[in-house]
């Protein structure tokens, strides 16, 4: 953690005990703890959700559930969050974290391929968070954009891709190419307006017009 991160964390509202527990357990029980949203990004997700107070939230890629818990904290009194995750080996950890956060009745977990699951979801989502397979970002977007009403928000994580997208010699790997294509697609989509926030690995904040 950088000095800047430490300062921001120390001078921002603390997140819940359940999230602190989940951060520790993610580091202990998984091999990809860097994928965790963390307190700074998690705080932003929580703040956006609380401002919107959505009835329905959709999360594509929940990892160990940290971001889902942050997002769910802003749900309306009767709201629910649908969280999609491909790796079902994480289910016990996710469910324990959700239980510790007191959100068992508010977060619905779906395990499997998001591209197969998304067409089966018939809700209208006021807030969507995309943070799954980078090679499929554009496909996820195409599958969810019509489920989002005017004024709804779509958040896409990792859109700066460790700086690869703006290097002089842009790498040609499939993930980098897709992130480039996705960002271009959003910029050119007349149905939305957007701003890329350089927080952590970049968040594309997209608002449906």
The pLDDT assigned to 34 comes to 81
Q: Are 139 and 117 in contact (CB under 8 A)?
A: no
Range of the domain at 176: 3-208
Give pairs for 137-141: CB < 8 Å, separation 24+: 137/178, 137/179, 137/182, 138/178, 138/181, 138/182, 138/185, 139/115, 140/60, 140/114, 140/115, 141/182, 141/185, 141/186
**Overall domain count for the chain:** 1
pTM above 0.85, yes or no: yes
DSSP state, residue 161: G
- Regions in the chain scoring below 50 on pLDDT: none
Summary count for the chain: helices (H), strands (E):
8, 7
Sign of the Cα pseudo-torsion (186, 190, 192, 196, in order)? positive
Cα–Cα distance, 176 to 161 (Å, whole number): 7
Read off the CATH number of the domain in which 159 is found. Answer: 3.40.50.150
The pLDDT assigned to 32 comes to 84
The pLDDT assigned to 2 comes to 85
The pLDDT assigned to 172 comes to 84
Half-sphere exposure of 132 (CA within 13 A, CB side): 25
The pLDDT assigned to 161 comes to 95
Residue for token digits 């703890």? 33
Cα–Cα distance, 71 to 66 (Å, whole number): 9
The pLDDT assigned to 97 comes to 97
């Amino acid at each position: 953690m950088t000095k800047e991160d430490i300062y921001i964390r120390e001078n921002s509202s603390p997140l819940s005990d359940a999230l602190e527990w989940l951060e520790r357990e993610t580091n202990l029980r998984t091999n990809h703890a860097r994928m965790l949203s963390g307190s700074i990004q998690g705080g932003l997700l929580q703040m956006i959700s609380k401002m919107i107070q959505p009835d329905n939230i959709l999360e594509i890629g929940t990892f160990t559930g940290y971001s889902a818990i942050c997002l769910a904290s802003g749900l309306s009194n009767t709201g629910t969050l649908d969280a999609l995750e491909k790796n079902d080996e994480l289910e016990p950890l996710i469910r324990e974290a959700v239980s510790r956060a007191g959100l068992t009745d508010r977060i619905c977990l779906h395990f499997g391929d998001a591209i197969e699951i998304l067409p089966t979801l018939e809700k209208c989502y006021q807030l969507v968070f995309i943070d799954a397979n980078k090679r499929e970002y554009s496909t996820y977007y195409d599958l969810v954009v019509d489920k989002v009403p005017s004024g709804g928000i779509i958040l896409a994580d990792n859109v700066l891709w460790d700086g690869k997208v703006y290097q002089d010699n842009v790498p040609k790997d499939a993930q980098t190419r897709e992130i480039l294509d996705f960002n271009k697609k959003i910029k050119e989509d007349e149905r939305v307006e957007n701003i890329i926030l350089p927080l952590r690995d970049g968040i594309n904040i997209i608002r449906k017009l």
